[in-house]
Structure 1
């Protein structure tokens, strides 16, 4: 059944009901697309494309709208992943996932957070895990995300991907083994994440030390083998290669501090499911950092995104934060 506009040109009741139905599923669809693509902007585009298809379909023939929409979004993401990989191979410097912020300062899951925040407030969107997912083929990534993040049984995953159930089980097994392996610099996936309180304590200490120019304070919270990754995408000045080792990272940060000057503030914020740092000049975000913490309780990995193209989504969210910073 196709809807028709009302005589005054406004959407008819069928169109309004369809829009409400889609809106109810939108946070889940965005969460699925973001985990598949590692880009908030591309995820939003995929969800918008799904909405256009939803508007153009005979909705009377759709028995389970949530499943139908998940299948559409998954296939849209699979198509995008093929071209995304080619683009990332030509990327200037280090490619990092686009950061997403929680809608309120501090730890995620704060009081008042609604279902629309769920996609961006869980530990399975951590930067470390998203980087681990980059190892997978598009099909492996789809199976793993549907199974781990959304709890789909293999039978339903097979229906979403139009594959055999046994094949999906094999894909999931391969994906789970590859994700369980640590990143090249020893960062494990989310299963080894430290307590949120410890991560927040470290991030707050980092912000305070950076504000005060306290290199000794930074030295106390950085692991000896810490690695700093920068993603400027060739758009802004950034380290093209990872900065390795505490002494090198400290010298690198000292140089950055000399260049940025006054007016730059840092705010502790929820970044990809954990406390992170937003660097901003007024309301304009110039960088977002997420961190990994090692078994020694020190920061052993920092992922810093300063590519302006990857900060659009975060900037919109940051506008909802109270005035704060260091």
Structure 2
């Protein structure tokens, strides 16, 4: 037993601690094929080299969320193996495209700690980074998780709650080198709508739904090398169910948003996110979006939309919270992100 890893508990973290995560992962066209098999992902920039090249890129990158999942999965054994819940995200930025053939590694810095009043759990904030084989940061984000304590009698650490931005300022968004939407082919992209066709406050029902199956979500979670027990082991949850990986819900909702936001090609910023209620096999995921903000960029023909993406298991869009301010039971995900779109 001494050689196995039970995962970290709350008292194993300290402010400023930097954790290098195993195992490096070289990504290729296989990741793209599996990602598009798992989700109805059809954004043209991630589907065709020729489309990406017409937009100024050397080739089609690996899907932005696929890159996120690879980095996220590496952090799980060290950050959330003993987590009760993944609570939220902030200050996420995609800094460089990930190309087929790139090798990704990940590290996390502990930036916040707060023991809960029950003394049995605590919240850990980390800033995680994914790097390519050149040592360049390709993605970074903050997330916070509720983690079990090994011993409830252990004295609590000094409380440190990081000061995080409610949303990334547009000037902090990084547009990939060379991206140029001035020759954008709307017919091939599958949607005629530009940056100027969207208004702040507008809501979009993405119409379609996908029923989540047990085998598919476990395949996805294994693909990203996510080892969290609650996704695989029915004894890890009191009700004997396997919790659907939150990233699976994110990718499903993002793929569904193609119907109405097909030209929101690249995710470049993650302002915040909450997994509002558990998602289980048999749930049918539907999605709707709200335009929260718009911004110009310095890249030719490229604008940015700040979007709220909501995944739900019900059939009534545009309902988010009850009169008590809490998420409605059918809301699965509330995600706030920036995407690049042709002007």
Give the TM-score normalised by structure 2: 0.27
| Structure with the bigger percentage of helix | 1
Larger radius of gyration: 1
Higher strand share: 2
Could you state the TM-score of these two structures normalised by the residue count of structure 1?
Answer: 0.28
